Amino acid sequence: MTVASSSQRIPVEERLFSLVLALLATDAGLTKTEILSTVQGYRQKYSASGDNSNLERQFERDKDDIRELGVPLETIEAPGQSGNNQNLRYRIPRGAYQLPSDVRFSPEETTLLNLAAMVWREGSLSGQSRRAIMKLRSLGVTTTEPVLGYAPRVRVREAAFEPLSDALERHLQVRFSYLKPGEEAPRVRTVNPLALVQHQGRWHLYADEPESGTTRTFLLRRIVSPVETTTRSFVAPELDPSAEALAGLEAVWEERLAVVEVEPGSDAATRLGKRRGTRSVDDNSLELHYTDENILADELAAFGPEVLVLSPPSLRDAVRSRLDRTAADHG
């Protein structure tokens, strides 16, 4: 007794990878029939005498997917048969897809690059991740044993991240509503996205704002509307501005300092004491660096009576207002 081929499920990534390998291995190209009847992920469902329309539609979707992953898929018409789609041949020119000849990865480096790509696999960077994994696998480098027994995953929770990342790659202007602390209503901001950076565990957009003529940093969690991508393009800077964005955030973090008194042995003492850059002033007091006063106020207020803010006064007032509001909400 044999198991029906339709029950053999091949993962999408494996099917796409097999397709890429098959198209890299041919100079003349492969016809659709040759692909469907021989490539892993298609051949299991292919019927030599039956209806393969569903499989053909799957192949059409796969073609779009691998092109979106940066694979240079070419279509070649048969000589003298222009317009005959049944005899079209498909291939991936090696020269257009291979890494430069002076770039080489050791097995250990390839393992780490694969792991880095897998970390983002189910986040909003999944497209970039899949492109990286496909490229690494095509190099044919044997990897060492996995450095971890499981694949960690990073999820990007801000809904604004994906449309901003897409606009950033396409160099398109975006528009969104942004609510700054202390403002009663959000303001619509129109910006040219330059970089998305993570600092202290939070995502920020670094962007030019044509209206004000300045470059600003926006915290993604304060974008309160869907991101609208416009059709207006802009010229991207020659150098990646990510380092500049991170340097600006780090400078703010270094400059801002709070002093808090913590209850010895409390959760606040343990957690705040392990923050980057924290310094003990005495047995009960800590110096904390911070980037955003309102975010730090939210964190400190969550510790309740375990924390007393000594300075700056604005942070102390912000924490007190949050505690007063909590007390009022709970009667």
Q: Between 81 and 96, where is the model more confident?
A: 96
Residue 102 has pLDDT above 50, yes or no: yes
Whether 270 contacts 286, CB under 8 Å: no
pLDDT tens, residue by residue, 106-118: 766 666 666 655 5
What pLDDT does residue 71 have? 80
Q: What is the mean pLDDT of the chain?
A: 80
Residue 178 has pLDDT above 80, yes or no: yes
| Closest C-alpha among 191, 165, 162 to residue 176 | 191
| Closest C-alpha among 135, 137, 146, 143 to residue 107 | 143
Residue ranges and CATH numbers for the domains of the chain are: 5-97 (1.10.10), 100-155 (no CATH), 161-241 (2.30.30), 256-329 (no CATH)
pTM of the model: 0.56
Whether 194 contacts 171, CB under 8 Å: no
- Across the range 261-267, mean pLDDT stands at 92
Residue 51 has pLDDT above 80, yes or no: yes
What pLDDT does residue 117 have? 54
Residue 226 has pLDDT above 70, yes or no: yes
Residue 165 has pLDDT above 50, yes or no: yes
- Provide the H-helix boundaries in the chain: 12-24, 32-38, 53-68, 94-97, 107-119, 126-138, 161-170, 242-255, 267-273, 293-301, 313-329
Residue 58 has pLDDT above 80, yes or no: yes
Q: Which two tokens stand for residue 191?
A: 């910006």
Q: Residue 139: how many CB atoms within 10 A of its CB?
A: 14
Please give the DSSP secondary-structure letter assigned to residue 220.
G
Q: Which two tokens stand for residue 87?
A: 């005899």
Rounded to whole angstroms, the Cα distance separating 170 from 127 reads: 14
Residue 139 has pLDDT above 70, yes or no: no
pLDDT tens, residue by residue, 292-305: 999 999 999 999 99
* pLDDT bucket at 2, cuts 50 / 70 / 90: very low
Residue 245 has pLDDT above 80, yes or no: yes
What pLDDT does residue 1 have? 27
Count of alpha carbons within 13 Å of 154, Cβ hemisphere only?
16
Q: Which two tokens stand for residue 95?
A: 């020269």
